[in-house]
Structure 1
Amino acid sequence: MNMKTFLGLVLVLFSFGTYAEGNYAGVGVGSTDFESNDGTFQDDATGGGIFVGTRMLTKDRFSLDAEAGLFYTAEGDDSVSGDHTTIAVVGDSMVFNAGVNAGVHFQPSENIGLNLYIPVGYSLWDGEISASCSRDRDGRERKSSRRQRCDGEIGDADGDDSGVYYGIGLQADWGSKFFTRVSYIKYDIDFGGIIDDPERIALDLGFKF
């Protein structure tokens, strides 16, 4: 899926805004966990994001929102060592999401509401996922690239990848305007087989209008 197709999906989702029962927007921060397909190497990348949404349907305790968002995974690395070898995986991506949140609501008090929701949608990743390797032989360290293979090297990819996402979240409404939420989302992407379905845990602050 290219950017034009993705933006078309966003427009289709928000065409339901004519019938919207309310809109919201917010910012957040999250940690994205990258793991190689063989499960050996792992990387955690932290980054911020923004999102906008519209309430399409409310029935009794149930609701359905259309939402689009963008977040950034800042480059990070987490290395493991053994047999004089250190290998690290790094990720640096801009991610666009578009989908729906299906929720069920609870009202523990007059000013506090809870919403347990399931986000499902499609995401477009634009960035770089790569692996590097170094060895220590006789006190000398050597960096490797795609052309210099070493034990456990998994390669790199620079470009786009896309796939569905799904997860679970809990939102707390503070009065009628503000809310906070925490979510866990899994992404069905692999950047050419390098990584295995990255996962993101995020904390968001939002405003209803």
Structure 2
Amino acid sequence: MSAPMNSQGFFLTHDYYLSPSWFSRLHSHFDFCLDIDLFASRLHHHLPRYSSRLPDPGAEFIDSFSLPWSGNNYLFPPIVLLSRVINKFITDNCQFSLLIVPFLPSSPVFPSILDLCIAPPILLPDCAVIREPRHCKVSQMMAWTISVSVSLQEDFRRTLSPDCSVMWKKNPYRNINLTGRNLPVGVTKGKLMLTTYL
């Protein structure tokens, strides 16, 4: 039986997740500890505290949107929920989160993700994300460190170079091949953001 899809071709189920080894690498890379895995399940959760979409005796919450988000959150949501996730992240005034989403520059919410960044986005190799066999690769997955803290956002932007590339302004995402280090992914408040690797 095929997994249900929406009109854009994205899976409505969430049968893909970060490998345990890559979660550990990312978690140890940051200066803050994650408190809760907000889009998890009984079989696939990386933190003792997690929220599940379905009834689960081990979950602290059912449906992560039903509770206020506080602390430091691990977010690997279904793609179709991305806009809702970013809206709630901002509304609930979240200070730190690790967000795993594909590189989707055409998404209406992508500029908001860029503006929330407080560290360079990390390119993830294909092996970092485990998918069910029926799932095709949607796009290059990336790890984003985000915060609503304006001071942290500004501190990060001060480390970036001005967006002075004429070619980037004319056609910013044309022929981007996300296979190297320090590649441009977007512009936030006039500053060009580049990728990094672990």
Tell me, yes or no, whether TM beats 0.5. Answer: no
Larger Rg, first or second structure (1 or 2): 1
Bigger RCO of structures 1 and 2 (CA < 8 A, at least 6 apart): 1
TM (normalized to structure 1)?
0.25
TM (normalized to structure 2)?
0.26
